[in-house]
Amino acid sequence: MLKTLKTITGLNHPCLFPFRPLSSHTLTDSHLKSLVLSQYSNGTFSNLLQNVVALPSVLLTACQNLSNSPHSSTTTTTALLTSVSNHFSIYQMGHEISQNKFDVSSCCVKMDPPGPSGESLILPNLKLKVLIEAIRMVLEIVYDEKFVTFSYGGRVGMGRHTAIRYLKNNVTNPSWWFNVSFCSSKFDEFNVDKLCLFIGEKIKDAMLIDVIKKLFECDVVRVEFGGCYLGRGLPQESALCSILINVYFDGFDREIQEMRLRMNKKTFKFELTEPDLNNSTIFYKPVKLYAVRYLEEILVITSGSKMLVRELKDHVLDFLEQNLGLKVDRVKTAIHSAVSEKIMFLGMELQAVPPSVLHRPMSEKAIRARKKYDRQKEVKALELRNARERNRKKLGLKILSHVFKKLKQSNNGFRYEYQIESEVRDIFRTWADEVVVEFMGSLEERWNWHRLLSRGDFLSLRHVRDQLPQDLVDAYDKFQEQVDKHLAPTKARMALEEEEKRVREEEEQKYSERTVEDLTKLCMKVSAPIELVRKAVRMVGFTNNMGRPRPISVPFALEDADIVKWYAGVGRRWLDFFCCCHNFRMVKTIVSYHLRFSCILTLAHKHESTKLEAIKHYSKDLKFSDMNGYEEIYFPTERDVKMMGDKNLSDPKPVDGALSLALIRLASDESSHSCIAHFCGRIDTTMYRVRLLQNHLNLNPLDEARWVKGMGAINETLNKKCLPLCPDHINDLYMGKITLQDIDCTSFVEVD
């Protein structure tokens, strides 16, 4: 690696690959990485802002990431450059950045709250978002490979599902655990200075650090702990926050790593004698320490004693308070038993259970159903075999009758133009081989024929054998040898009994191993908080107090297809978020039943019809026909929901993104506006008014008794603001493919 870095820094040109960094072309990941590594020297990076971030090609790549457009196409790049030029000049922007003349404060838009007690919302415009994305791209290349393995969130291939997969597959025999709870606070000047100090250890670039400080000073980049806002895809958040949090906690991660190494060295090791090795009743469980950090959420697990985990907790909290200057809630940071208590982490419930809970053995009812199914398969196979024999017999008789008929009609035989003797011979040989294989596989038939051919064995008598010719006696003995060799079922029966014995012993061995594992091993069970999901469904109005689907009146102003998309966005987010949980089947039921029929009832109530009429018109799959007559399905079908499982390892979208707000379509004669999605030049837009969930329900998100714990709340400044969106981006926003981070909320339109 060092040799490669020396080779890069020794070149006159700052990259190994043939590309033009000053041209208006987007960069691939390898090109961008090579460009960043060219600024590496003596263990640090330098001049990243001037020589990397300020390049037009890097800024254009950042624009491409924000616009979610496909990669590497000349037409696409040209169209993207044209679209970017309609908003600002990347060449002028790059010149301002390189000359340290880029004014961050002028690119911030302040939105005043509707009431005097509210908090102002500071949002970056599109130009500043491009700079933030370019900085994020550079910092990702600098730091991503430097972070420890148990650091998740904001990293490529290290999302929420990957952290859960690690807990399920690697954590064994946990005894005590705790998750760190922070007090509600945001980064102050002390935290920002310490963050910049950490960045300065790796990056010697004062201009870049000053830009990061300015972003925090303008409140356009915020890091909040102890709240329900971080990582929820809300407009006041930035993609840069994730990597900055990982940089800030990197020292803490290193300390946890050192603690794990010290604990492994101190683990008591003893020598086992030969009799002890053969004794399967001796089990050795070394003390282990596990840690998982997803952004600001920290979970520490140990298999040691409670005294050990108490000392570990005190050391962790002291490090966070003294070295990082964070405010920790020591009351809520409590130690829990991994076996008897559940703990919430990453929005899911964790508990240590025996392996039999995760992989339950078949019940008596399931065993009876399996045996019934096997019997049905045997009967079906017997019917097919009988039908095959019957067809062979009919076909063979037809061939023989045809041959005899031709022989009777001709004295000198008969001839065909085509010789088919070989084909007929092959057919009969194939039938004969199949019949022999089936016959040899049946012990009953072999035993029956052996008895028929062996009974009345008068030639075995000595006085009879002496009176017969020797050739006849030898032929009979050879025949009996062949009968005993091929038809005697003794060896086959012994082999069958041995196979049954082997299967029975394997089942007993598996049962004993499963019993021992249940007594000596604990695994991680990850469950979705069903009660919280049901509370969210009930709070929004999808179900009544009895838990039955009901219509809601919020989306009545939308078209029918948009109503289904809104429901589909909620359902698909939940299915994607909780797909790795043990009780995923219950989440499927909530989506496939409660949300589906609530959508059907909403459509029926909107058109003043009955539920059956709505089902007859839209079907249970909620199908819609487009302008060309093609059917489109937005809501996941019942079959799709049934087939879903733990297959997605990417970082899922926030589960409450579609619940936090509702977009109501306005029918107005306003002049056309361009779509406010990033670099979208379409003007065939429609006005959508934002209605926040907390204002519609008249609830306080800080009231945990009435609000759902973990749901994000959008700043009320956006309430009743109007967003012009084109059909494509409103569809992506409904379906969860984009969030409010992917649209320019600073360009909203005021409509009375």
pLDDT tens-digit readout, 51-84: 888 898 889 888 888 886 444 444 477 778 888 8
Say if residue 159 is in the same domain as residue 246. Answer: yes
Question: Nearest 5°: phi and psi at 151?
Answer: -100, 115
The whole-number pLDDT of residue 292 equals 92
| Closest to 229 measured CA to CA, from 594, 702, 578, 686 | 702
| Closest to 551 measured CA to CA, from 521, 509, 594 | 594
Q: Is residue 238 part of a domain?
A: yes
256 neighbors 208 (Cβ within 8 angstroms): no
Q: How far is CA 648 from CA 152, 160, 581, 634, in A?
A: 16, 10, 12, 19
HSE-CB at 43 with a 13 A cutoff on CA atoms is: 2
Least confident interval from 153-157, 270-274, 655-659:
270-274
Q: Rounded CA gap, 140 and 154, in Å? A: 9
Average pLDDT over residues 523-551: 88
The whole-number pLDDT of residue 14 equals 39
The whole-number pLDDT of residue 486 equals 67
Say if residue 234 is in the same domain as residue 245. Answer: yes
Task: Report the greatest alpha carbon distance in the chain.
Answer: 127
Average pLDDT over residues 407-430: 66
Q: Rounded CA gap, 657 and 660, in Å? A: 6
Say if residue 115 is in the same domain as residue 179. Answer: no
Domain that holds residue 664: 528-735
Say if residue 603 is in the same domain as residue 723. Answer: yes
The whole-number pLDDT of residue 249 equals 92
39 neighbors 48 (Cβ within 8 angstroms): yes
The whole-number pLDDT of residue 598 equals 92
Tokens at 252, concatenated: 């803490």
Q: Residue length, the chain? A: 752
Q: Which residue has the higher pLDDT, 3 or 348?
A: 348
Q: Is residue 308 part of a domain?
A: yes
Q: Rounded CA gap, 644 and 39, in Å? A: 46
| Closest to 165 measured CA to CA, from 294, 31, 319, 340 | 294
| Closest to 599 measured CA to CA, from 574, 578, 570 | 570
Say if residue 104 is in the same domain as residue 175. Answer: no
Least confident interval from 251-255, 259-263, 594-598, 656-660:
656-660
Contacts of 652 (CB under 8 A, 6+ apart): 159, 160, 161, 573, 576, 577
The pLDDT-based confidence of 13 (bands split at 50, 70, 90) is very low
Say if residue 73 is in the same domain as residue 178. Answer: no
Q: Rounded CA gap, 294 and 344, in Å? A: 13
Say if residue 619 is in the same domain as residue 543. Answer: yes
- Tokens 């005993």 identify what position? 484
Q: Rounded CA gap, 723 and 715, in Å? A: 16
Q: Rounded CA gap, 38 and 71, in Å? A: 24
Question: 525 - beta bridge partners?
Answer: 351
Q: How far is CA 506 from CA 96, 500, 502, 710, in A?
A: 74, 10, 6, 47
Q: How far is CA 414 from the centre of its chain?
A: 72
Question: Nearest 5°: phi and psi at 749?
Answer: -115, 135
Question: 749 - beta bridge partners?
Answer: 722
Say if residue 174 is in the same domain as residue 53. Answer: no
Q: Is residue 264 part of a domain?
A: yes
Q: Rounded CA gap, 309 and 304, in Å? A: 7
Say if residue 536 is in the same domain as residue 645. Answer: yes
The pLDDT-based confidence of 415 (bands split at 50, 70, 90) is low
Q: Is the pLDDT of residue 730 over 70?
A: yes
Q: Is residue 214 part of a domain?
A: no
Q: Is the pLDDT of residue 276 over 80?
A: no
Q: Is residue 412 part of a domain?
A: no
The pLDDT-based confidence of 721 (bands split at 50, 70, 90) is confident
Average pLDDT over residues 235-262: 86
Say if residue 563 is in the same domain as residue 711. Answer: yes
**How many domains are contained in the chain?**
3
Q: How far is CA 434 from CA 265, 375, 501, in A?
A: 65, 23, 29
Determine the straight-line distance between the first and last CA of the chain, rounded to whole angstroms.
61
Q: Is the pLDDT of residue 335 over 80?
A: yes
Q: Which residue has the higher pLDDT, 18 or 672?
A: 672
The pLDDT-based confidence of 7 (bands split at 50, 70, 90) is very low
Mean of pLDDT over the chain = 80
Run of H or E including 606:
helix 596-606
Per DSSP, the chain holds a count of helices (H) and strands (E) of: 29, 20
Q: Among 146, 176, 203, give the residue marking a domain's end.
A: 146
HSE-CB at 46 with a 13 A cutoff on CA atoms is: 7
557-570, pLDDT tens digit by residue?
A: 888 888 888 888 88
Tokens at 202, concatenated: 């790796």
Q: Is residue 404 part of a domain?
A: no
Q: Among 494, 527, 560, give the residue marking a domain's end.
A: 527
| Closest to 255 measured CA to CA, from 199, 314, 316 | 316
Question: What is this structure's pTM?
Answer: 0.78
Contacts of 36 (CB under 8 A, 6+ apart): 45, 48, 52, 138, 141, 142
Say if residue 129 is in the same domain as residue 153. Answer: no
Q: Rounded CA gap, 568 and 734, in Å? A: 8
Q: What share of the chain is helix, strand, coil (3-state, %, to 5)?
A: 55, 10, 35
Q: Rounded CA gap, 631 and 624, in Å? A: 5
Tokens at 379, concatenated: 């009967």
Q: Is residue 574 part of a domain?
A: yes
Instruction: Walk across the sheet containing 203-204 and list its strands.
Output: 40-41, 44-46, 203-204
HSE-CB at 404 with a 13 A cutoff on CA atoms is: 6
Say if residue 174 is in the same domain as residue 254. Answer: yes
CATH number for 258: 3.30.70
Amino acid of residue 610? T
Run of H or E including 224:
strand 224-225
Q: What does DSSP say about strands 224-225 and 336-337: parallel, antiparallel, or unpaired?
A: unpaired
Measured at the alpha carbon of residue 201, what is the angle toward residues 197 and 203, in degrees to the nearest 5? 100
Q: Is residue 492 part of a domain?
A: no
Run of H or E including 623:
strand 623-625
Q: Rounded CA gap, 240 and 228, in Å? A: 18
